[in-house]
Structure formats: C-alpha cells, structure tokens
Amino acid sequence: MLGRNPSEPTLFQMVDMEGLIPADHKLRKVDAVLDLGFVAEVVSECYAEGRGRPSVDPELALRMMLLGVLYDLSDRELCQEIQMHAGMRWFCRLNFHDPVPDHSTLSRLRNERWAQSGLFDQLMDEVIRQCCRAGLVSGRHLSVDGTEVRADASVKSLKRRGPQPPKDRPPGVGPDEGGGEPKPAGDWEGQGEVLRNDTHFSTTDPDARLYRKGRNRDARLSYLAHDLLDTKSRVILRRKATQATGRAELDAALLMVDEVLDGREALELPNRPEILTGDTAYGETGLITALLDREILPHIPLRAREAVEGRPTWKRRTFNLDERRARERKVKEVEARNRVRGVTKTQGYQVSRKLRIRSEHTFAEGKTQHGLDRARRRGVERVQDQATLTAVVQNLKRLVAFLGRKPRAAAAQALLGGSQPSVFCFSAHSAALWGHIRALEIFCPPNPEGRAGTNYLQVTGQGPDWVWGPA
C-alpha cells in the first residue's frame, strides 16, 4: 500500500538541538576544541560602554566568520546557510527562533570595529597553544613557503601613475596617436602599454601588485601568502600576507622566524627551532647568514650551485673601519654558503627536502577548501585577516584529527603491553630509515660506549625514546 506522510504542519514544535547533531559531526569536533572565552575581553575597548543599542555578541560573530572560512562561503552565502542549517545554528549557539545577524554586520565588525583589536592574531596564538599542549607540535623542524593569492581586482583597473595623458582626443584614439581607426567596442584603453608596478597602480585595490608566477604566465594583480609551519605536524605557526614584491618571500620568512623565536614561551613551543626547510627562492646569502646567526640550520638549496668557495683574501691590509667590516661580512657570507653546501650532502637534508612538500599541501588545502586562492577583500591588512582566519581553521582541523587518533594510539599501546615499554629494533646502518626518523624529530643520542650497536626505539607512555643495546 502506498504510504503517505500523516503529519501536518504545526504552529509550535519541541526541538532538541543537541539531538539533531551527530556525535561524529565535524562541527561538534571543532566546537569541542574551540575556546572563545577571551573574545569579549579583547574587543571590549572597541565598544562604547553604556551607550547605544547592544551589539551582536562578539563570540557569535567570530563563530560565524570561522564557519564562513570552514565551508568557503561569502558573508552573504553564510547568513543564508545558517538560516536553514541546524548544525550551523547549533555551532553559533542560535535557536531556531533566533534571528541571524546580517552579512553587513560581519563586514563592519571585521573591517572597521575590530580592525585594530588584534583579535584574529590572538585567536591564532591561542589555537597554537592548544596544539602544543596536546603534544601535536614539535617546533624543531620548520618549513617556509609562499604562494600567490589573486587580488579582487582586474588589470583593467590599472591606471598610470603621475600626470595623465590629455582627454581631449577623439574617442577610440590611442594616447600616442593623432588619428586612425577607432578601437573595437569594449577594448581596454591600456592595451599595448607596458604595465609595471612602478608606473601603474590599481584604482580598485591600490595595495595589489602585478605578479607573474612563471615566464610563460600572464601577470595579474595579486598578493603573496607566506607560511611558517611545523613540518612534523603541519601546524601553521605563522601566516603573513604581503604585497607581491621581489623580496617579499625573504623578508617575510625572517620576520616569521623572529616572531616564533621571540614568542616561543608565549606559544608554549616545546622545543627551539633548529632546522628550516625552504625552496630555492630562499637560497639567498643574506637570509642564510641571518638564520645561522640565530642558530637555525638552513636546509635550503643555494641559488648559486657552484663548488665550495675558497676563503677570500686581500693583498693589502686596510685600516678603514667600513672596509674592514665589508671584508668580514664577505668572509662570513662565504663560510655560510659553504656550510649550507656541506649540509646538502647529508641524508637528513634529502629527507627534509622530501618533507618540504607538506607546505605545498597546506597551501593547496587552503585554496581548494577554504577560499585562499583569491582575496575576498581589498587591502593588504584585510587580506591578512583572511589569511589568519584560514590558518586558524586549518590548525583546528589538525588538532581535531590528532585528538581523534589518540584513542587508537592508546589502544595499540595497551595491546603491546599497557604501561610497559614496547621495543622495536632496526639496524643502525640503515641510512634511509635513520634519515626519516631524524626528519620526524625523533633524535637518537650518540652511543655512549663509542662502539657499533643496535638502536632500539622504546615507546613509553611519555613518548618515544632511544636506548642502546648490544651489537
């Protein structure tokens, strides 16, 4: 017999919001690790006390912004989805009868009221601290990389800097022509000009710069996003959005490294950075020297791949202070390049080079899943806010996945003997395996007896440890 729906629309219904959300839903997992109790205190100075109408709850607005990044939705699309999506309403602490804030409210909060509060940076640091407390982040081995973020502007918005050509010429006539055939309808006035960042700017987004990703690629208005992440866990420690300039990658890399070093205690990093991996774009002598001065070993291929350089010498002594400093600097740079060349021959370097692709995977995730491929707003500061929120969402996903794997790891350890240490053995002469283990931040101490032996990887409740056994 054909079935029919017996229920009729009712005026009032009792709905259990908690019962509607599955226990394994990703919003429930993200909500379990998301702590926004500090938000009200951070943005309190952005509001007038005792005057005007009550504003939208800052935590509600921030939760909505995180949802927009998580599902790659614009503000307008986000508000429409929350109207119909029970899980999103539950995540935002909204009942079915509660109104959803307008999309313009989110835009004003992000671009105006919270612009100078530093809320997104503090949220980023708080999520990193949670990752460190959970044991996800090592901090010893870091990777740096950059990618293009297409600006929300077209090359048709470019305008020449300085004095403009006269506008009294006939329509369709080029700026250097006195006559001729008119241009086809819809043709761009700047066609045929050589477009350069020093001669042209965008009237739509003045902060955007022309950027060409390859020799055979067309230049387009873009920004650059730079990542400094923990190679082992792929947790993003810093993400910077900059203008697409020639030295943007080098300057951003050093800035992010300094921020991590200075804020290590605040971020609760368990270890000090020791290795930095990057591609050839970072193989500049100044950056390499600066990293070595900070006691960080660069696993970076040099731009100049010649053989080992000899120590520079001079025929005559100099007593000029500036010349002496220049000579000392040149010697220091040669020694730094030679040290990096020596590192490139080690097995650990080869493994680090293979693990560097994790930076590419992180950018690919941000672009394909969270809208980092194109700037949703204009101006480098607003693009920075977008990049930071995207990094927060990606780190939350890493933390949720890591905490989800912990029960399985505990069960495996119980099968291997519970609290008793489990011992795995491998040959110490296996260079490939040894390189992989070093790249994963599991370091073996030297043989205390100075003899050939067998390495034992001992796994306890406190984590992996190395002990030496008989040959």
Contact 299, 354 (CB under 8 A): no
Provide the pLDDT confidence category of residue 468 given band limits of 50, 70 and 90.
very low
Contact 306, 328 (CB under 8 A): no
pTM of the model: 0.78
Residue 354, strand partner residues: none
pLDDT, tens digit, for every residue of 357-412?
899 999 999 999 999 999 999 999 999 999 999 999 999 999 999 988 866 554 44
* pLDDT (0 to 100) of residue 281: 87
Whole-number average pLDDT of the chain: 78
For the beta carbon of residue 232, count every other beta carbon within 10 angstroms. Answer: 20
Euclidean distance between CA atoms 28 and 17, whole angstroms: 12
Q: Which helix (H) or strand (E) holds 404?
A: helix 380-415
Give me the count of residues in the chain: 471
**Mean local confidence (pLDDT), 56-71:** 93
List, in order, residues 6 or more apart from 335 with CB less than 8 Å away. Answer: 311
Contact 228, 260 (CB under 8 A): yes
Nearest to 239 by CA among 90, 53, 366, 50: 366
Tokens 């609760």 belong to 268
